[in-house]
Amino acid sequence: MSKRASKLTAEDLAALVEEDTAEGAVAVRPVEFAELEGGPRSAGRGSAAALSFIMDVPLEVQVVLGSTRLPVRQVLELGPGAVVELDKAYADPVDVYLNGRLVAHGEVVVAGENFGVKITEIFSEALGDE
């Protein structure tokens, strides 16, 4: 068996079993795993009961209006009142990231005296749905 192989082939396994049992040292048999009960897949996707064990896990949420590249010279020239032009137009959706992964698009809204994001599109494949 090559050193770079990550899995044993049937031939490799048979050779190991023959060698080990011939010497009487080890008996090899396939591993059998029992089904887990109460896990997230057992109650179906999206079920609140299935996800209750992770509800308090903190996630980093980022909303990106746009971006740009500036040379150091221009960054050092920035000051109060400076305008930095971004790569998105006024009406373009903003990107919503969870832990650095793009998961949704949204639009900026005003909520009282604060800004907020109204989610307009969720990428289900980014959340693990198949």
Residue 24 lies in a domain: yes
Confidence of residue 1 (pLDDT cuts 50, 70, 90): very low
In a domain, 4, yes or no: no
Q: Which residues pair with 98 in a beta bridge?
A: 61, 101
Q: Count the domains in the chain.
A: 1
Asked if pLDDT for residue 49 goes beyond 90, the answer is no
% pLDDT > 90, the chain: 45
Query: Domain range for residue 94?
Result: 10-127
% of the chain surpassing 70 pLDDT: 70
CA distance 64 to 88: 10
The mean pLDDT of 24-53, rounded to a whole number, is: 65
Judged against a pLDDT cut of 50, whether residue 5 lies above it is answered with no
Q: Is the pLDDT of residue 35 over 80?
A: no
- Asked if residue 1 belongs to a domain, the reply is no
pLDDT of amino acid 24: 57
* Domain membership flag for residue 80: yes
Which domain CATH number covers 113? 2.30.330.10
Mean pLDDT of the chain: 79
pLDDT digits (tens, 9 = 90+) for 82-103: 999 999 988 899 999 999 999 9
pLDDT at 120: 94
Tens of pLDDT along 113-126? 999 999 999 997 75
